Structure 1
Amino acid sequence: MDEHKENLNDFNDNLKMSNASENEKVCRGRSSPEEASPSAVLSQTTGEFSDPVYKEIAVANGQINRMTRDELRDKLEELKLDTRGVKDVMKKRLKSHYKRQKLMESIAAGGPTDRYYDYICVVDFEATCEEDNPPDFLHEIIEFPMVLINTHTLEITDTFREYVKPELNGQLSDFCVKLTGITQKMVDEADTFPTVLQRVVHWLQERELGTKYKYAMLTDGSWDMSKFLNIQCRVSRIRYPPFAKKWINIRKSYGNFYKVPRTKTKLSTMLEKLGLKYEGRPHSGLDDSRNIARIALRMLQDGCQLRVNERMHFGELLAVPSSAPVEGAPPPQNPRSRD
């Protein structure tokens, strides 16, 4: 009974998740069929998911659901795919492989890509903290790291990191130093946030993000943008940067893609379930960002179409529905004063 239910869910996923948003763009004239994903093109040319390929995908899913862990690993190895991860991750990886293969066969060899963005920019701030933060504690960003992912080559192509000097409370707590590895000397010698943000903008502009290339920000949860960056911009009396108003919350993406509860989407848990080990020093902003990027790359390899799912609107955190048009972050601009 459980297997039948899983097969039915997989079949429904194939119908619902075959890039409804891309399909919508084609219908509204926002992109040509040549620019859309394989499944969107197929549904446009054959009627709403009427093509027999979807039944073939459902059959393949049923066969994969019945495979043991060893059979899954052997099949992945035979296909030269990654064999790491728990059983559910391997099943998802194999299903995604066959789905992509069959959809591509149905429209033409060498069909279009399913990537929404050319680059994904991973951010994981470190901020001032106490061992027991009071409710009104104002966290100030003390490390601004970024890791740039090329979604076409599936590689980390560049990194950025600067430490930041706190403006309200310049003295780091012993707890903060021990947790992050960021010393008092590091922040004393750093520039304040507005100056660092200017260099962030310049770094993004040099890579032609938002102009030549479509990109999106990605974080491990909601706090980096909705709390840390939001508070910091108020402290520094600058406007919240438009390029950071929408982002991919990888915890949501991971939970939805691998069908696991949100309680199992901590960084260490995601790495473990994907068969990966943490590299570097935990709570180093740059090391955390690199490991988050590794998760994102594995998800892209497994067939997940990472897309923006959260945004800030007048200081409020909101979800971005999957039916919303896919938009990249705007070209980065220098910080503007609130005054």
Structure 2
Amino acid sequence: APSPLGQDGLAARPPRGRQHCRISDQETDGKTSAASSNDFSDPIYKEIAITNGYINRMTREELRSKLAEFKLETRGVKDVLKKRLKNYYKKQKLMQKEYINGDSCYDYICVVDFEATCEEGNPPEFVHEIIEFPVVLVNTRTLEIEDTFQQYVKPEINPKLSDFCISLTGITQDIVDKADIFPQVLQNVIDWMRQRELGTKYSYSMLTDGSWDMSKFLNIQCRISRIKYPSFAKKWINIRKSYGNFYKVPRNQTKLTIMLENLGMNYDGRPHSGLDDSKNIARIAIRMLQDGCDLRVNERIHGGQLMTVSSSVPLEGAPAPQMPRYRN
């Protein structure tokens, strides 16, 4: 059968940034959830399903060749390449039909990956305190890292770092001794975010690699520092969940180094540097956006408990950051 990939004006042309965002992460096999108001009996969905079947039968080299023809990224394992090509074709088709709403993703994503005090073997009674607070600002329109923030934090309960912690993170005793305590660093983060008009002029969401940065480290730190949990960090995108759902891979395939490897990328920088980890997580987020993933909030904290956010919940950005009140 002739390839359907060159039909209907889908000739090779480079995609400009991120054209439209609202595409479901569900596979289209005769059914889809791109927008609940669509009439799924439209022949376009049959065309997409037929094309998906065709893509499923392609070899890795055929996939890379077709992606190159469309000026798309050709690195990654075979399943990643299939997903990339399917989403590109689906997006083009739905845009022709004007089925995609172009303004339903966040303007910015703030990637955070804390480093915290630790001891070898992680004894259960050990209290982790944040010692590095990085933020990497990703512009979802230009698909670039636009800015970064990084400050170290002075721990109060265990002010002396273990040798294990120093060798793991590269953060020295001298660095934390000279740093501000957590409430001051949080205030600096909030000032930095407000200067960039996040939550006022621009919509944004927090993004982490796993759920523990917010549900564990930030939650514990706010209790130690006797401040309430900040409202802007109550919901976030757990990129491990997003990656697993989008590329259809098991949970053990969603570690940072494995996600990079499967996307054809190497880790850039020093592992367990909070800022370098955040930059690499941002690179994964950017590649997922390029591949057509609809990155959106999927976790939240409520009453100190970690909870899942359904993908059917209307997209809503985080509030403008404000310094939380001190606990009584």
TM-score, normalised to structure 1's length? 0.87
Instruction: State whether residues 211 and 238 of structure 2, in contact with CA within 8 Å, keep that contact through their aligned partners in structure 1.
Output: yes
- 2:276 partner letter: D
Cα distance in 1, alignment partners of residues 98 and 320 from structure 2: 34
The residue type paired with residue 299 of structure 1 is M
Match runs of 1:132-151 below 5 Å? 132-151=121-140
Is residue 91 from structure 1 mapped to residue 82 from structure 2 by the alignment? yes
The answer as to whether partners of 1:65 and 1:91 remain within 8 angstroms in 2 is yes
The residue number in structure 1 matching 2:96 is 105
The question of 1:11 aligning with 2:28 is answered: yes
| CA distance, structure 2, for counterparts of residue 273 and residue 68 of structure 1 | 17
Q: C-alpha root-mean-square deviation of aligned residues, in Å?
A: 1.3
Correspondence for 1:72: 63
- Residues 123 and 147, structure 1, Cα contact 8 Å, conserved in 2: yes
In 2, are the aligned partners of 1:264 and 1:270 still within 8 Å (CA)? yes
The answer to whether the Cα contact below 8 Å between 2:104 and 2:315 also exists between their aligned partners in 1 is no
Structure 2: distance between partners of 1:265 and 1:159: 24
Q: Specify every segment of 5 or more residues in structure 2 that has no aligned partner in the other structure, as ranges.
A: 1-25
Cα deviation code 1:220-274 (max 9, x no counterpart): 0001000000000000000000000000000000000000001110000000000
**Equivalence for 2:184:** 195
CA contact (8 A) 2:115 2:133 kept: yes
Give percent identity, aligned residues only: 71
CA shift at 1:327, angstroms?
Answer: 1.1
* 2:302 is the counterpart of 1:322: no
2:300 maps to 1:311: yes
SS of 1:11's partner is coil
Cα distance in 2 for residues equivalent to 1:75 and 1:222: 36
For 1:113 and 1:139, the matched residues in 2 are separated by: 42
> Counterpart in 2 of 1:254?
243
SS across alignment from 1:75? helix
Alignment check: 8 A CA contact 1:194 1:335 kept: no
* CA–CA separation in structure 1 for the residues paired with 2:186 and 2:110: 15
- Code of the residue aligned with 1:101 in structure 2: it is Q
> SS at the partner of 1:15?
coil
Determine the structure 1 residue equivalent to 2:8.
none
SS at match of 2:28: helix
Q: Which AA in structure 1 matches 2:113?
A: D
TM-superposition CA deviations, 1:35-66 (whole Å, max 9, x none): xxxxx5xx1xxx3x121111110111011011
**Matched AA of 1:11:** T
What is the CA-CA distance between 1:336 and the residue it aligns to? 1.3
Measured at CA, do residues 114 and 266 of structure 1 come closer, stay the same or move farther in structure 2, by a change above 3 Å? farther
Contact 1:64 1:72 in 2 (8 A): yes
Match among 150, 158, 183 for residue 172 of structure 2? 183
- Aligned counterparts of 1:299 and 1:133: Cα–Cα separation in 2: 32
For the pair 1:241 / 2:241, whether they are aligned, the reply is no
Give the letter aligned to residue 196 of structure 1: V
User: 1:172: which partner in 2?
Assistant: 161
Please give the alpha-carbon distance, in whole angstroms, between the structure 1 residues aligned to 2:198 and 2:33. Answer: 28
Amino acid at match of 2:139: N
Could you tell me which residue of structure 2 aligns to residue 222 of structure 1? 211
Aligned-partner residue type, residue 59 of structure 1? I
| TM-fit CA distance, 1:115 | 4.6
Number of positions where the alignment pairs a residue of Structure 1 with one of Structure 2: 303
In the other structure, the counterpart of 1:31 is none
How far the C-alpha of 1:325 sits from its partner, in A, is 1.7
Q: Which amino acid aligns with 1:71?
A: E
Partner of 1:30: none
C-alpha deviation, 1:10, in angstroms? 3.7
Q: Which residue of 2 aligns with 1:336?
A: 325
Distance 2:291 2:151 in 1: 32
State the secondary structure of the residue aligned to 1:171. Answer: coil
Is the counterpart of residue 55 in structure 1 residue 71 in structure 2?
no
Please list every run of 5 or more consecutive structure 1 residues that lacks an aligned counterpart in the other structure.
1-8, 24-39
How much does 1:323 deviate? 1.3
CA separation in 2, counterparts of 1:16 and 1:98? 14
Structure 2 CA distance for aligned equivalents of residues 196 and 311 of structure 1: 23
Deviation, structure 1 residue 217:
0.2
Q: Aligned partners of 2:89 and 2:179: how far apart in 1?
A: 50
SS across alignment from 2:66: helix
- Encode CA deviations 1:44-93: one digit per residue, 9 max, x unaligned: xxx3x121111110111011011001100110111110000000000000
